[in-house]
Amino acid sequence: MAIEAVDKVFAGSIPEIYQSRMVPLIFQPYADDIARRLAGRRVSRVLEIACGTGVVTRALDATLGKDVAIVATDLNPAMLEQAQDGGTRRPIEWRTADAMSLPFGDGSFDCVVCQFGAMFFPDRAHAYAEVRRVLSPGGIFLFNVWDRIEDNEFADVVTGALSGLFPKDPPRFMARTPHGYHEADLIARDLASAGFGVPHLETVSARSVAPTPLDVAIAYCQGTPLRSEIDARGSLEEATQVAARAVEARFGTGPLDAKIQAIVVTVER
């Protein structure tokens, strides 16, 4: 699926709502998973691309040895500002950077990580080639992507509810971009085009928990670029309430528990 310009807009109140609502809802479990996977490896200099509001950065900071240098980058200054406000134990080098043209020398890092960012790259093979360029020989590229939307229950229910509210032009951000890049063969081909060898792909399921249906609806409708699609079609408040009612009909009044599922990819340079 094509990446639309609106899919990459994280502005206004989106970064704060993303951090306060989306991170605990779906991102924290996988950030902790990435940090655990690196904990047993000997790394000295780690680059994170598409760091968003810094959930993985903070997990790495809490897990890796204090002598490991961490550089965290994102294309969006508003998200990077929110990330820096979160605080870390060690000094982090925060940089605004485009994954399509990384501002680092060849072989600068022995590890590159990326959490749920690859889906937003306009040319994934090119971005992966940039990752390979800045990795030292034997370096590790570790990233994850969301699995299909049907295996991510809150996202699926919210998307279905908004399709009912806007039947002539349903908002498709969640299905199109976050959940639009999960085919194992395609991921492997893109990595091969960038010069990488055969990757290891692992499907990882987790649970998403929320106090109420409205918490879920606010997270998705107001804390992601889905908000821009809703604003272009009608009332954000109405859409949020419609989504909340759909979540309640499926999962009850709360506390809520739903399946989330991602694919974790590991490949060496």
* Burial class of 138 by CB neighbour count within 10 A (0 to 12, 13 to 18, 19+): exposed
Tokens representing 110?
A: 């022995």
51, exposed or middle or buried, with CB in 10 Å at 0-12, 13-18, 19+?
buried
- 43 with 68: CB under 8 angstroms? yes
Per-residue model confidence (pLDDT) at position 2: 47
pTM of the predicted structure, to 2 decimals:
0.93
pLDDT of residue 206: 98
Q: What is the DSSP string of 66-111?
A: TT-EEEEEES-HHHHHHHHHT--SS--EEEE--TTS--S-TT-EEE
Query: Which value, in Å, is the radius of gyration of the alpha carbons in the chain?
Result: 18
Non-local (6+) Cβ contacts of 57 within 8 A are 48, 51, 70, 72, 83, 86, 88, 92
Which amino acid is it at 159? T
* DSSP designation for 4: P
Collapsing DSSP states into helix, strand and coil, what is residue 218?
helix
In angstroms, rounded to a whole number, what is the distance separating the alpha carbons of residues 75 and 97?
A: 5
- The pLDDT of residue 6 is 52
The tens digit of pLDDT for each residue in 99-125 reads 999 999 999 999 999 999 999 999 999
Reported as a pLDDT band with limits 50, 70 and 90, residue 7 is very low
Average pLDDT, stretch 3-31?
Answer: 79
Region 192-217 average pLDDT = 98
The pLDDT confidence band at residue 249, using thresholds 50, 70 and 90, is very high
Give the C-alpha separation, 7 to 241, whole Å: 22
Confidence class for position 91, pLDDT limits 50, 70, 90:
very high
Instruction: Report all structural domains of the chain as residue ranges with CATH numbers, in order of start.
Output: 7-268 (3.40.50.150)
